[in-house]
Amino acid sequence: MNKMSFHLVKREPMVWYKNVFVRAIAIIASLIVSAVAITILTGKNPLEVYASMVSGAFGSSLRIWSLVQNVAILLCISLAVTPAFKMKFWNCGAEGQVLIGGLATTAVMMFLGDSLPYPALIVVMLIASMLAGIIWSVIPAFCKALWNTNETLFTLMMNYVAIQSVAFFLKYFVKSGSGVLAPMSEYGLPVLFGQSYLLNIIIVAVLTVLVYIYLKKTKHGYEISVVGESENTAKYIGINVRKVVIRTLVVSGALCGIAGLLLVGGTNHTISTTTVDGRGFTAIMVSWLGKFNPVYMVLTSFLIVFLQRGAGQVSTDFRLPSAISDIVTGIILFFIIGCEFFLQYKIVSTKSGKEND
């Protein structure tokens, strides 16, 4: 008669402070579990490992600038994929769209750097990078709108085309034949107050606000939500779904192009096939975790970059294989994503037998 059993019950929406509390518990729990894992696997003191993580991210002003710059780039790409994802257009091609935007920037720097006055050069770089990103995103959107092709596969394929295009470009145009393009710092984006990353950060901050307004306050943003929530409703109220899909992917591609501009023009001043370094995909996670809200996405992109940079530092400080830091990152993300489940459901125990209620 005293059989106990457990089952899941959907929760009412929680008040905000409980919400924060659950997330805080998740982070603490993840740190404890990671600590146990670190001790078992390496025998190191977990507190020292965490200290090294923090120092890797915040240890010096150079590290802080680099952290914020990386957050800015990741956030920019996340902002780019968000309108498409909100519309349930699974744009997995940010990687390629950013890279091709970067390639367009590189090409402008290389071929027009000498002949154009500097302000004009910057404008041409901006236009070229955006156009390149748009072309890369609109081709799949067009095929989706006309022939209902699968956008996930299509955008993934476009990534390879972009990577190979960069490889071809480097092989063909780099005179030395080394395939490595020397940085062209003289044609880069302007440096503000002696801080080479400051302009990137300001641009992304402005973009964050603009994307927020675009999604929440404009008719376009409203149409994106309606199409994403229900295509039938969109048709019922007379929204031209194809038009919205293509228009949104133009926005998405243009933002990816800008991310490419910031990476090449603002940071690296050169390009390689790994310039984007998987951030086109990480951005999807940032966007989802941030519930497609640009303000939350600032936090999620910060978290991810912090973990990555901290983990890198741990590897060097303790001469540990990078797999260990990947494990720690994985554990922390697991808890943070896992706690979403407990925000939606609760576990209830049932006693079969005597009931008091």
Partner 1 sequence: MSETSAIELRNISKYFGGKAANKNVSLSINRGEILSILGENGSGKTTLMNMIAGIYFPDEGQIFIDGKEVVIRSPRDAFKYKIGMIHQHFKLVDVFSATENIILGIDKKEKFDHKAAANKVKEISERYGFDIDPMKKIHEMSVSEKQTVEIIKVLYRGADILILDEPTAVLTPQETQKLFNVLRKMRDDGKSIIIITHKLHEVLSLSDKVAVLRKGEYIGTVLTATTDESQLTEMMVGKKVSLNIERGDPKNCEERLVVRNLNCVDREGVKILNNVSFTARSGEILGIAGIAGSGQRELLEAIAGLQKVNEGEIVYNNPKTGESDNLRDKTPMQIRDLGVRLSFVPEDRLGMGLVGNMDIIDNMMLRSYRKGHSVFLERKGPRYLAEKIIKDLEVVTPDAKTPVRRLSGGNIQKILVGREIAASPTVLMAAYPVRGLDIGASYTIYNLLNAQKEKGVAVIFVGEDLDVLIELCDRIIVIGSGSITGTVDARTATKEEIGLLMTKSVEQGGEA
Instruction: Please give the residue ranges that form the binding site for partner 1 (CB under 8 A).
Output: 3, 5, 7, 9-12, 217-222, 225-226, 229-230, 232-233, 235-238, 240, 348, 350, 352-353, 355, 357
CB 240, min distance to partner 1, A = 8
Nearer to partner 1, 11 or 171 (CB): 11
Shortest reach from residue 251's CB to partner 1, in Å:
13
Residue 129 and residue 253 in contact, taking contact as beta carbons nearer than 8 Å: no
CA gap 93, 256 in Å, rounded: 10
Count how many Cα atoms sit within 13 Å of the Cα of residue 134 in the half-sphere of its side chain. 12
User: Is the Cβ–Cβ distance between 36 and 331 less than 8 Å?
Assistant: no
CA atoms of 115 and 331, how far apart (whole Å):
52
The structure tokens listed for 349 are 């125990």
Which residue number, 230 or 316, has a Cβ lying nearer to partner 1?
230
Shortest distance, position 88 Cβ to partner 1, whole Å: 12
Q: Which is nearer to partner 1, 12 or 147 (CB)?
A: 12
Is the CB of 12 or the CB of 40 nearer to partner 1? 12
Q: Which is nearer to partner 1, 18 or 217 (CB)?
A: 217
CA distances from 299 to 29, 77, 78, 295 (A): 19, 14, 12, 7
DSSP-derived secondary structure letter, 239: -
Smallest distance from the beta carbon of 72 to partner 1, in angstroms?
27
Rounded least distance, CB 351 to partner 1, Å: 9
**Minimum Å distance from CB 20 to partner 1?**
20
Distance in Å, CB of 228 to partner 1, minimum: 9
Residue 330: how many other CB atoms lie within 10 Å: 15
- Using the minimum distance from each CB to partner 1, give the nearer residue, 18 or 235: 235
If phi over 0 gives left and psi between -120 and 50 gives alpha, with beta otherwise, what is residue 237? alpha
Q: Which of 71, 68, 77 is nearest to 102 (CA)?
A: 77
| Cβ proximity to partner 1, 3 vs 319, nearer residue | 3
Computed over its alpha carbons, how large is the radius of gyration of the chain?
Answer: 23
Kindly state the tokens that stand for 210: 């603009």
Q: Which two tokens stand for residue 234?
A: 């969109």
Rounded Cα gap, residues 273 and 259, in angstroms:
15
